[in-house]
Amino acid sequence: MTVTRPKFSILLPTHNRCDVLGLSIDSVLRQTETDFELLIVADGCTDDTLAVVAGRADPRIRLFDLPKAAGFGYANRNLALREARGHYVAFAAHDDLWFPDHLAVLGGTLDRTGAEWGYSQPLWVSTDGYVLPYFTNLGLADEFQLFMTNSNTIPAQCVVHTRRLLEQVGYWPEDVAEAADWRLWQRMLRASAGKAVFVPVATGLHFSARWRESRVSGSADGQVLVAVAERAAWWPQALKLHLAGHQTEQSAAWAVLVGEADWVSAVRLAVSTVAGRIAWMAVRNLLPQAVAAQG
Per-residue pLDDT of the chain (295 residues; tens, 9 = 90+): 456 899 999 999 999 999 999 999 999 999 999 999 999 999 999 999 999 999 999 999 999 999 999 999 999 999 999 999 999 999 999 999 999 999 999 999 999 999 999 999 999 999 999 999 999 999 999 999 999 999 899 999 999 999 999 999 999 999 999 999 999 999 999 998 777 899 999 999 999 887 667 788 778 888 899 999 999 999 999 999 999 988 999 999 999 999 999 999 999 999 999 999 999 988 888 766 655 665 5
197 within a domain of the structure (yes/no): yes
Query: In which order are the strands placed within the sheet that holds 8-14?
Result: 61-66, 36-43, 8-14, 88-91, 159-162, 117-121, 196-202
Distance CA 218, CA 71 (A): 19
Q: Do 254 and 29 touch, CB atoms closer than 8 A? A: no
Where residue 18 falls (left for φ over 0; alpha for ψ -120 to 50; beta otherwise) is alpha
3 within a domain of the structure (yes/no): no
Q: Do 117 and 192 touch, CB atoms closer than 8 A? A: yes
CATH code where residue 239 lies? 3.90.550.10
129 within a domain of the structure (yes/no): yes
1 within a domain of the structure (yes/no): no
Position 288 scores a pLDDT of 65
Distance CA 283, CA 290 (A): 10
2 within a domain of the structure (yes/no): no
Of 195, 122, 194, 133, whose CA–CA distance to 159 is shortest?
122
Domain count within the chain: 1
Position 292 scores a pLDDT of 64
The three-state secondary structure class of 198 is strand
| Strand stretches in 130-226, DSSP E | 131-133, 159-162, 196-202, 204-207
CA-to-CA separations, 227 to 33, 119, 220, 230, 233, in angstroms, rounded: 36, 26, 11, 5, 12
Position 211 scores a pLDDT of 67
195 within a domain of the structure (yes/no): yes
Structural domain boundaries enclosing 249: 8-293
**In sequence order, what are the residues at sequence separation of 6 or more whose Cβ sits closer than 8 angstroms to the Cβ of residue 144?**
138, 189
Q: How many residues does the chain have?
A: 295
How many CB atoms are located within 10 Å of the residue 141 CB? 8
228 within a domain of the structure (yes/no): yes
Which neighbouring-strand residues pair with 123? 133
**In sequence order, what are the residues at sequence separation of 6 or more whose Cβ sits closer than 8 angstroms to the Cβ of residue 49?**
14, 16, 17, 18, 21, 42
33 within a domain of the structure (yes/no): yes
Position 277 scores a pLDDT of 94
